[in-house]
């Protein structure tokens, strides 16, 4: 047999994305919504899909969807780029503004896909550190920008996997610094609807800022694969050149539109999760674990007396699956639990109490 062709170097070194999909009763590992979207949404979606012209390509510019998303923020369609999940949004951003000879900077620990997608797009990764309690340290930002002049700088607020929110002042300052050296700031707000402040209010035609959001977490639609980016028209126009033609299929576009007809029910889901997050955080703070304050739909914690692996396995043995971050750099011993339904959260807390005993 002839020798198999190897992937290009940066890919050969890569480690793929893993989150085990185990068969358990309580799944609190990927920050999905525990509730299905409203029934009225599912009915309307089914009816609309029956009318799709399946022999035709879908709307290439997804104009209706982009117009409706833009209206949520007082923007216009030209300020919105929609794609198959915010991961595809970020990938397109890096294919456009990253690439060979360019750098992307991120502050670890943060969402693993920021560095992963940078590598895939042959962008040089500049991994800087967060300060104590995972806050952004502005002195570090200044150093990194001065030394590396990254084309793209990522923030993630609320940050995954820590749940920590960047104060508005931090985001404003980072934006000023990025603007000064001619880069682009991307604030990943996958969990934005769970938090108080949004960088959306800093957007402007002459501001080098983009904000990515997704239907996956807040809007109970991880299965639909729909995310979007808000930004200046000149950025969106470049992204549209790079993304594959007709990348957003007809069903996804319709799902995105129909969801916007059910916003108040979507918002009720967010409110329920926020109040459950408070309850779970409070319960965790009564246990022998360190807990970080979260403004997302998950909470990061670290058992004080047991290893993360032990506790994770103890929970799996009780049919509760959470995210084991304990071997991730900078997160030694940490576990991340997604907020579920009241019943799921109770089952998690009871199982955790048993395991920690
Ligand atoms: C889940 C997540 C995403 C990606 O979500 P999609 O399902 O691809 O829209 C992006 N950023 C962060 C921080 C996430 O946690």
Is the residue at 3 inside a domain? no
Is the residue at 42 inside a domain? no
Q: How far is 247 from 91, CA to CA, in rounded Å?
A: 13
Q: In a 3-state reduction of DSSP, which class is residue 3?
A: coil
Q: How far is 263 from 261, CA to CA, in rounded Å?
A: 6
Quick one: 241 and 324 in the same domain?
no
Quick one: 113 and 251 in the same domain?
yes
Domain CATH for 110: 3.40.640.10
Quick one: 250 and 271 in the same domain?
no
Quick one: 33 and 87 in the same domain?
no
Quick one: 282 and 335 in the same domain?
yes
Quick one: 255 and 124 in the same domain?
yes
Which of 213, 236, 262 marks a domain boundary?
Answer: 262
Quick one: 278 and 209 in the same domain?
no
Quick one: 199 and 58 in the same domain?
yes
| pLDDT of res. 218 | 78
Q: Pick from 106, 188, 220, 226 the residue to mutate for probing ligand 1's pocket: most ligand atoms within 8 Å of its CB.
A: 188
Which ligand 1 atom is nearest residue 222's CA?
Answer: 7
Domain CATH for 268: 3.90.1150.10
- Give me the chain's average pLDDT, please: 95
Query: Can you give the residue range of the structural domain that contains 235?
Result: 50-262
Quick one: 303 and 290 in the same domain?
yes
Is the residue at 84 inside a domain? yes
206 CA to centre of ligand 1 in angstroms: 27
Query: Which residue CA neighbors atom 14 of ligand 1 most closely?
Result: 190
- Extract the tokens encoding 234: 């000149």
12 near 121, Cβ under 8 Å?
A: no
CA 289 to chain centroid: 25
| Residue 120 scores a pLDDT above 90 | yes
Is the residue at 325 inside a domain? yes
Quick one: 89 and 190 in the same domain?
yes
Quick one: 81 and 106 in the same domain?
yes
Q: Pick from 92, 161, 214, 227 the residue to mutate for probing ligand 1's pocket: most ligand atoms within 8 Å of its CB.
A: 214
**Number of structural domains found in the chain:** 2
Count other C-beta atoms under 10 Å from residue 235's C-beta.
Answer: 22
CB 87 less than 6 A from any atom of ligand 1? yes
Q: Mind listing the pLDDT tens digit for each residue in 149-191?
A: 999 999 999 999 999 999 999 999 999 999 999 999 999 999 9
Quick one: 217 and 311 in the same domain?
no
Q: How far is 270 from 289, CA to CA, in rounded Å?
A: 26
Is the residue at 43 inside a domain? no
CB 91 less than 6 A from any atom of ligand 1? no
| Residue 17 scores a pLDDT above 60 | no
86 CA to centre of ligand 1 in angstroms: 6
Average pLDDT over residues 310-337: 96
Q: Mind listing the pLDDT tens digit for each residue in 254-276?
A: 999 999 999 999 899 999 999 99
Is the residue at 1 inside a domain? no
Which ligand 1 atom is nearest residue 160's CA?
Answer: 13
| Residue 221 scores a pLDDT above 80 | yes
Which of 262, 278, 310 marks a domain boundary?
Answer: 262
| Residue 49 scores a pLDDT above 70 | yes
Which of 226, 243, 262 marks a domain boundary?
Answer: 262
């Amino acid at each position: 047999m002839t020798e198999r062709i190897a992937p290009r170097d940066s890919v050969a070194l890569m480690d793929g994305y893993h989150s085990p999909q185990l068969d358990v009763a309580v799944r609190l590992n990927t920050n999905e919504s525990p509730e299905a979207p409203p029934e009225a949404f599912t009915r309307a979606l089914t009816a609309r899909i029956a009318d799709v012209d399946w022999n035709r390509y879908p709307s290439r510019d997804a104009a209706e969807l982009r117009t409706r998303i833009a209206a949520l923020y007082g923007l216009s369609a030209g300020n919105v780029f929609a794609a198959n999940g915010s991961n595809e949004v970020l990938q397109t951003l890096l294919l456009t503004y990253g690439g060979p000879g360019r750098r992307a900077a991120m502050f670890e620990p943060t969402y693993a896909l920021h560095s992963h997608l940078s590598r895939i797009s042959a962008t040089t990764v500049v991994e800087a550190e967060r300060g104590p309690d995972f806050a952004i340290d502005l002195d570090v930002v200044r150093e990194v920008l001065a030394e590396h002049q990254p084309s793209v700088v990522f923030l993630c607020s609320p940050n995954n996997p820590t749940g920590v929110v960047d104060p508005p002042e931090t985001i404003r300052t980072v934006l000023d610094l990025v603007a000064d050296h001619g880069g682009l700031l991307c604030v990943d707000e996958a969990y934005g609807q769970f938090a108080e402040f949004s960088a959306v209010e800093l957007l402007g035609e002459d501001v080098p800022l983009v904000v990515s959001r997704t239907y996956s977490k807040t809007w109970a639609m991880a299965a639909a694969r729909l995310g979007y980016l808000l930004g200046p028209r000149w950025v969106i126009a470049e992204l549209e050149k790079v993304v594959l033609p007709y990348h957003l299929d007809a069903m996804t576009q319709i799902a995105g539109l129909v969801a916007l007809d059910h916003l108040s029910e979507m918002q009720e889901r967010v409110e329920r999760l926020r109040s459950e997050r408070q309850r779970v955080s409070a319960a965790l703070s009564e246990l022998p674990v360190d807990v970080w304050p979260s403004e997302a739909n998950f909470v990061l914690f670290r058992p004080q007396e047991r290893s993360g692996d032990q506790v994770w396995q103890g929970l799996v043995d009780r049919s509760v699956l959470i995210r084991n971050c304990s071997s991730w750099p900078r997160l030694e011993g940490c576990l991340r639990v997604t907020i579920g339904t009241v019943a799921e959260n109770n089952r998690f807390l009871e199982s955790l109490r048993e395991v920690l005993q």
